Amino acid sequence: MSEVLVEVWRGAFLECQHRGHAVVVNSNGDILESWGNPSREILPRSACKILQALPLVESGAADSFGLTPAHLALSCASHQGDPLHTKAVSKWLSVLDLTEKDLRCGTHWPLGKNTTNELIRLNEGPCQIHNNCSGKHSGFLTLNKFLKSDAEYIDINHPVQKNILSVFEEMTGESSSGYGIDGCSAPNHATSLKGLATAMARMGVGVRGPASLRLVEAMAKYPLLVAGEGRACSELMSAVGGRIVLKTGAEGVYTAILPEQGLGIALKIDDGATRGSECAIAALLVRLGLADEKHPMIRKRMFSILKNATGLEVGNIRPAECLM
């Protein structure tokens, strides 16, 4: 039931197609437009981090520990581990009187190539703070300290995760059928694309009061903290002047919060290709009149140029006709 959403052309030949599903809804869950199957159940992965951060603010934990909008943006981030991100996370942990060892997200090399190269040059390795989810986990630790619970905050039955599931189901309007373990070891709850988009729309209109709006505004204000230099989330949010909040998730998921319109978007590329999800979300922003097709950061994703090893332009990635 999926549809072709993105095409990859090499010269005059259609070489590849990315099939998927997408939906645009309002905060009541009414579908305005859809492609493929809006009821398709998915794991939203990092595209739902703003929902996972909601208990941090609603509980009073964020205010109790003096968290700023920058902290809230990091709690929703999939950052690339640059000094901009790691310094902020390190300082955050010190305020909590905690260290990198208290994180449970695991270690991977920074997503930022320059930072990775610098670590190699210095003959150093990464730590958990370089993990793209260390901001989210710092939020978990903040809530956990506020709740005065045990250290294993990623366990499915831990109070932190129980709070998250409760919020997740209320915002999506659905009972989750189960969960998978994300790359950072935290539970990731299943929902339909329609449910995920509904939750995003509700975040943008403040269904749960100021807490949701604070998170939305924080992400819009600090796009570089949400991802980083050259990353799609940061560039696309900057391209629309911070009026929209965007968040990618692994395996071809993307969400968008449109506060002024009271809408939410969720999409999933079946084969998990990031190039497909980035092209599709950019095309939807243009389709809805929210972005200028001619803006360099929009064109970079919506009409990505393919070059070979000599730098010769050999093709492009573009939206399928149904998204135009």
The per-residue pLDDT for range 6-34, each reduced to its tens digit, is 999 999 999 999 999 999 999 999 999 99
Q: Confidence class of residue 211 from pLDDT cuts 50, 70 and 90?
A: very high
Give how many domains the chain has, as a whole number. 1
Number of residues assigned to the chain: 324
Cα separation, 239 vs 297, whole angstroms: 6
Model pTM? 0.96
Q: What is the mean pLDDT of residues 231-242?
A: 95
The secondary element (H helix, E strand) that includes residue 5 is: strand 3-10
Residues 316 and 308 sit within 8 Å (Cβ to Cβ): no
Question: H or E stretch including 162?
Answer: helix 159-172
Q: What is the pLDDT of residues 169-210, one digit of tens each?
A: 999 999 999 999 999 999 999 999 999 999 999 999 999 899
What tens digit of pLDDT does each residue of 29-68 get? 999 999 999 999 999 999 999 999 999 999 999 999 999 9
Q: pLDDT band at 236, cuts 50/70/90?
A: very high
pLDDT of residue 80: 96
pLDDT band at 304 (very low <50, low <70, confident <90, very high): very high
- Alpha helices per DSSP H over 112-209: 113-121, 134-147, 159-172, 193-205
Q: Hey, what amino acid is at 309?
A: A
The owner of tokens 């809408």 is 263
The domain that holds 171 is classified in CATH as 3.40.710
17 contacts: CB under 8 Å, gap ≥ 6: 4, 6, 7, 8, 320
Q: Which domain holds residue 226?
A: 3-323
The CA–CA distances, whole Å, from 211 to 58, 80, 82, 152 equal 6, 26, 28, 25
Average pLDDT score, the chain: 97
pLDDT digit string, tens, across residues 86-99: 999 999 999 999 99
C-alpha span between 274 and 272 (Å, rounded)? 6
| 3-state percent helix, strand, coil for the chain, nearest multiple of 5 | 45, 20, 35
pLDDT band for position 161 (cuts 50, 70, 90) = very high
